[in-house]
Chains A and B, each alone.
Chain A
Amino acid sequence: GNSVTQMEGPVTLSEEAFLTINCTYTATGYPSLFWYVQYPGEGLQLLLKATKADDKGSNKGFEATYRKETTSFHLEKGSVQVSDSAVYFCALSLIQGAQKLVFGQGTRLTINP
């Protein structure tokens, strides 16, 4: 079946630390891959995406590369800020009648000053 597995949280880091949140997927076909971020009390915002193998998505200092050989889409940031504290969701997109997003369980990130 189609599924997304994210590293379990919560993750707590100090400001300016390096961040990696692992994401691996299982899918039939060639899905698009997304990272969404959810700040407390808000909806989901697109952080970045990649639509084919070897694509790199980037935004606000975050990066992720679509690795078909390892079925992964790990999120990285070189220097995190307190404002990056949020829940991060990895998701794949596929067509089953219409577009469906399959989400990972989410990783709660807390950055301490």
Chain B
Amino acid sequence: DTEVTQTPKHLVMGMTNKKSLKCEQHMGHRAMYWYKQKAKKPPELMFVYSYEKLSINESVPSRFSPECPNSSLLNLHLHALQPEDSALYLCASSQARDSWKHTQYFGPGTRLTVL
């Protein structure tokens, strides 16, 4: 099983709302990732968790707050977003040891619209 699941599939929120995106995998992977993808562009890395610890934050604004409550779950908490934050948010996971040669498995994404 190489499945990464993400909920919700679609999300519409106002600029004052607080919402969360969820990601789950049961492949035993200890590295998990959040990406942002704008239309017709490649994914842009936002955050990396390795062994449940934040190892990379690509200078993402604080209105995005990641959380890794356990080795299978990854959340992205959203607060006071801007319309330009509208995008497809992708979660991925991979093996953490010798990770450079391992595949990142992507979820289907959450399509976020900020009004």
Which residues of A are in contact with B by a Cβ distance under 8 Å?
A: 31-32, 34, 36, 42-46, 49, 51, 89, 93-101, 103-106, 108
Contact = CB atoms under 8 A, between A and B. Distances in A.
Contact of B43 (A32, A44, A51, A96): A44
Contact of A97 (B40, B56, B104): B56
3 closest Cβ pairs, A-B complex: A103-B42, A99-B99, A43-B106
16 contacts: A32-B100, A34-B103, A42-B108, A42-B109, A43-B106, A44-B106, A46-B103, A46-B104, A93-B104, A94-B100, A95-B99, A98-B96, A99-B102, A100-B56, A101-B104, A106-B42
A98 B100 CA distance: 8
B42 A99 contact: no
Interface residues of B, number: 27
B107 interface: yes
A101 B90 CA distance: 13
Contact of A101 (B6, B45, B96): B45
Contacts of A106: 40-42
B81 interface: no
Contacts of B102: 99
Contacts of A93: 99-101, 104
A43 B107 contact: yes
B106 A45 contact: yes
Given A100-B56, A105-B41, 6 more contacts: A44-B90, A45-B106, A93-B99, A93-B104, A97-B55, A98-B96
B106 A31 contact: no
Contacts of B71: none
Nearest to A93: B100
Nearest to A50: B101
Given A98-B55, A98-B56, A99-B94, A46 B99 contact: no
A51 B94 CA distance: 15
A51 B100 CA distance: 9
A110 to B, nearest CB: 14
A51 B88 CA distance: 28
| Most-contacted residue by chain A among B56, B100, B107, B108 (CB, 10 A) | B100
